[in-house]
Amino acid sequence: MIQSLEFLTDRRGRIESVHGGPPPPELVSYARGFLLLNRHRVQFLYRSAEPWLSVVLERARRRGECYDRALIRAVPAELPQGITRREIEVLTLLSLGLSNPEIGERLGTSRRTVSTQVERLLHKLGQVSRAGLASLVVDSHLLALPIPGGVDGVAHISVVSIERFAGMVDEVAARFPSGPKTVDGPRPILIGTLASLTGQANDEGEELVRGAALAVEEINSHGGVAGRTLEHLVADADLYDPEAVRAAMQRLIAAGVDAITTHYSSAENPFLLEMAAEYGRPFLHVDTFERHVDLVRSNPRRYGTVFQTCPSEKYYAMAFVRFLRDLGKLRNYLPKERRMALVEMDTPSAHIGGNGFEPAVAEAGWSIVSRESAPFRQSDWEEVARRLVESRAEVILVAHFITDEIVELQRQLHAAKFTGLVHYVYAASSHRFVEQLGDLANGVVWSSVTNRTDSAVARAFQRNYAVRYGVEPGPAQSSSAYDQVQLLGTAWRQNGGTDSAGVCAALRETLYRGLNGTYYLGEDGQSPLSYPDGTVDPTIGMPLLTCQIQPDGPVVLSPAPFGSMHRLQFPGMHGAEKANQRLH
């Protein structure tokens, strides 16, 4: 008989801190399924134990650890108001949208019996409808697992998803056992991901891990690489804590991973490139930093294992100048003075000005009338917005990568009644930007050197991600991480093994069509070509997309053939004008 129980487990089902005896294996599977959801807490009844248990699952992330853990607390359940266990099962199925005949079929009773039970429950719980019962059950955490009759054909709510994901976890575990490998069996290929699951960039760190994990699972579901499965190791570190980043990188190196993927960790922590060079195995990043591409170009012998899997920040300046030129060609846009302002985060990776930017802006017929340098945290955005409005700028370019900060800037610009166009470098592409701003985000323009393109494969990825994690993927990080793993998988297959020299040669020789565009890493700096400024051929380059947030979702403005500037909506545009633009 199980009494009170508490334990921690991770996505692989490793258990620690057990209080109250060994947990039922099914609860461990539920905890692993819970970690695949985008939820912080769920509660339900567990009906396969004696007595029934009231179970609470919570995320328990610890600084410096790999992935989340799930904290599971279970105590004997007290059923309210004299409700029987069979009535809880009826309530569970009723709340998941099943009819009386369907409930009877799952419970092995007649339709009349179920109807009588539902009438009795309406009276006991003081409700007048099935909808009222369902709301009460969900609010009171009375849903019971396992779902009687299974999860097929019932509503997709969080508790049901836990059981569904638990089944997926068990199926994958059965297909690819994670226990000790025999000496004679092939060693798994270890792929390490350095992610910022804590700190300011945690939302994109989570996308990074999830995208990579989907690729690992997909490769494993097709038999791995040359009979070897992939094992995914994740090291967490706050992007802006250099010592934590260094320690996380060292953990992956100590584990002997065959390759390392990350996002823009090395932009803020360039020592990672030195660590990667010393380690001597493929290191794939998206730090978008031309200085680091130049580093590889200048010393390929030392940095030949370092690959930037997106074009560099220099293309943002080129794309923005193109945007200004294209604005001038639109008949329905009549700027008064062609004045622009520039806001940059006070960090080297965010510097857009320089390298010919100012002359290019002037050549496009615009003048820079204001420049603002802002710290990456706690800027006085109200004062910045006031100065920007006073500058009479008609377009503002913002290169600041902390979502919460630019959300506040956008709010302050709206409060200061700025009526021009705001163009953000990358950060406004985050779902969190739109979620926090709501309608205030409409009209914002953003650009990204790496961004998921529209294709059948990309749409399948989007569906799989949403089903697996309960949220839509962002436009860049998750698909970029997926592409990184698939790039490595392709190189491992082509090379016939994981030796670094052969794999890096394969990465340089491969033309790979991914979710975010075409990857060709054979140039001297080992970074993709950017379309249309790095190559005029869209079939061998990665498109730098410029998009606008509109009420129905993001719209691609450029480059052609991916989008059209005629779809741009201007501040203050009325409904008829917007409808006319959509016709173009």
Q: How confident is the model at residue 156 (pLDDT cuts 50, 70, 90)?
A: low
**114, 288, 380 from 350: Cα distances, Å:** 64, 10, 18
For 493, counting Cβ atoms within 10 Å of its Cβ (0-12 exposed, 13-18 middle, 19+ buried), the class is middle
> Residue 49 pairs with which residues in a beta bridge?
none
Alpha-carbon span 461 to 259, nearest angstrom: 23
Of 296, 294, 259, 248, give the one whose Cα is nearest residue 274: 296
Give me the residue label for tokens 């000005």.
Answer: 353
Any idea what the CATH number is for the domain that residue 171 is in? Answer: 1.10.10.10
> 364 with 486, same domain?
no
Q: Is 93 left (phi over 0), alpha (psi -120 to 50) or beta?
A: alpha
Same domain, 227 and 306: yes
| The pLDDT value given to residue 175 | 39
pLDDT at 548: 96
Q: Is residue 36 scored above 80 in pLDDT?
A: no
* The most confident of 64-68, 178-182, 242-246, 426-430, by mean pLDDT: 242-246
Q: Among candidates 161, 147, 42, which has minimal Cα distance to 91?
A: 147
Tell me the C-alpha distance between 30 and 579, whole Å. Answer: 48
Residue 377's pLDDT band (boundaries 50, 70, 90)?
A: confident
Three-state SS across 530-575?
Answer: EECCCCCCCCCCEECEEEEEECCEEEEEECCCCCCHHHCCCCCCCH
Q: How far apart are CA 76 and CA 53, in angstroms?
A: 4
**What pLDDT is attached to residue 169?**
54
pLDDT classification of 136: cutoffs 50, 70, 90: very high
pLDDT digits (tens, 9 = 90+) for 506-547: 999 989 999 999 999 999 999 999 999 999 998 899 999 999
The model's confidence at residue 307, banded by pLDDT at 50, 70 and 90, is very high
**Residue 19 above 50 pLDDT?**
yes
Across 187-201, 267-281, 359-373, 396-410, least confident range = 187-201
- State residue 400 phi and psi, 5-degree precision: -140, 130
Q: Is the pLDDT of residue 66 over 70?
A: no
pLDDT at residue 153, as a whole number: 77
**Crossing angle between the packed helical segments 403-415 and 381-390, to the nearest 10 degrees:** 50
Predicted pLDDT at 582: 41
Long-range contacts of 357-365 (CB under 8 A, 24+ apart): 357/317, 357/321, 360/317, 360/318, 360/321, 361/321, 361/324, 363/321, 364/321, 364/324, 364/325, 364/328, 365/324, 365/328, 365/338
- Could you give the CA distance from residue 359 to residue 575 in angstroms, rounded to a whole number? 37
57 in a domain, yes or no? Answer: yes
For 510, left (φ over 0), alpha (ψ -120 to 50), or beta? Answer: beta
Backbone angles phi, psi at 241, to 5 degrees: -120, 90
pTM of the model: 0.68
Average pLDDT over residues 204-227: 91
Mean pLDDT, residues 555-566 taken together: 92
Q: Over 90: is that where the pLDDT of 253 sits?
A: yes
Give me 547's structure tokens.
């998009």
Give a yes or no: residue 544 inside a domain.
no
**DSSP character for 200?**
T
Instruction: List Cα–Cα distances, 148 to 46, 49, 132, 166, in angstroms.
Output: 12, 14, 21, 15
Residues 337-363: tens digit of each pLDDT: 899 999 998 876 677 777 789 999 999
Q: Say yes or no: 516 and 561 in one domain.
A: no
Burial 58-72 (b: 16+ CB within 10 A, else e): beeeeeebbbbbbbb
Task: Specify whether 444 is located in the same domain as 462.
Answer: no
Q: Give the model's pLDDT for residue 40.
A: 80
Residues 30 and 106 in one domain: yes
| Cis, peptide link before residue 101, omega less than 30° from 0 | no
Q: What is the pLDDT of residue 215?
A: 95
Count other Cβ atoms within 10 Å, centred on residue 262: 32
Judge whether 536 lies within some domain. no
Residue 581 has a pLDDT of: 44
Q: Do 507 and 460 fall into the same domain? A: yes
- Give the residue numbers spanning the domain of 354: 314-448+551-583
For residues 104 and 110, give the distance between their C-alpha atoms in angstroms, rounded to a whole number: 5
List the end-to-end C-alpha distance of the chain, in Å, as a whole number: 69
Partners of 41 in the beta sheet? 58
Show which of 178, 212, 242 is a domain's final residue.
178
Residue 426: name the closest of 452, 408, 400 by CA: 400
Q: Report the chain's mean pLDDT, rounded to a whole number.
A: 87
Whether 571 has a pLDDT exceeding 90, the answer reads no
Last residue of a domain, one of 159, 178, 197: 178
User: 19-23, 24-28, 477-481: which range is least confident on average?
Assistant: 19-23
Are residue 305 and residue 381 in the same domain, yes or no? no
> Quick check: 573 pLDDT over 90?
no
Residue of higher predicted confidence among 392 and 354:
392
Q: Which of 57-71, 299-313, 440-454 has the lowest mean pLDDT?
A: 57-71
Question: How far is the C-alpha of 87 from the C-alpha of 199, rounded, in Å?
Answer: 45
Please name the amino acid found at residue 512.
Y
Say if 377 falls within a structural domain. yes
Percent of the residues in the chain that have a pLDDT greater than 70, as a whole number = 91
- Helix (H, G, I), strand (E, B), or coil: what is residue 117? helix
Residue 214: its pLDDT value, please? 93
* Cα distance between residue 479 and residue 313, in whole Å: 19
In CATH, what number is assigned to the domain containing residue 298? 3.40.50.2300
Measured at the CA of 191, the angle between CA 185 and CA 195, to 5 degrees, comes to: 150
- Please state the domain count of the chain: 3
Residue 90 within any structural domain of the chain: yes
Q: 174 and 197 share a domain? A: no
The predicted pLDDT at position 37 comes to 66
Q: 481 exposed, middle or buried (CB, 10 Å; 0-12, 13-18, 19+)? A: buried
Rounded CA separation 77/271 (Å): 53
Bond from prior residue into 180 cis (ω within 30 degrees of 0): no
Residue 471's pLDDT band, with cuts at 50, 70 and 90, is confident
Query: Do 293 and 200 share a structural domain?
Result: yes
Residues 143, 144, 150, 151, CA torsion sign = positive
Which residue do the tokens 């250099």 mark? 242
Q: Same domain, yes or no, for 222 and 327?
A: no
* 335 and 227 in a common domain: no
In a domain, 542, yes or no: no
Q: Tell me if 537 is assigned to some domain.
A: no
- pLDDT tens-digit profile of 420-437? 999 999 889 888 899 899
User: 155 with 9, same domain?
Assistant: yes
Q: Which residue has 């393109």 as its token pair?
A: 453
Dihedral angle over CA of 527, 532, 535, 540, nearest 10:
70
In a domain, 163, yes or no: yes
Q: Peptide bond before 76: cis, by omega within 30 degrees of 0?
A: no
Q: Give the list of residues 6+ apart from residue 25 with CB closer than 8 angstroms, or none.
A: none
In whole angstroms, what is the distance from residue 22 CA to residue 250 CA? 34
Q: Which neighbouring-strand residues pair with 448? A: 545
Residue 2: is its pLDDT beyond 80?
Answer: no
* Closest residue by Cα to residue 434 from 568, 553, 557: 553
| pLDDT surpasses 70 at 191 | yes
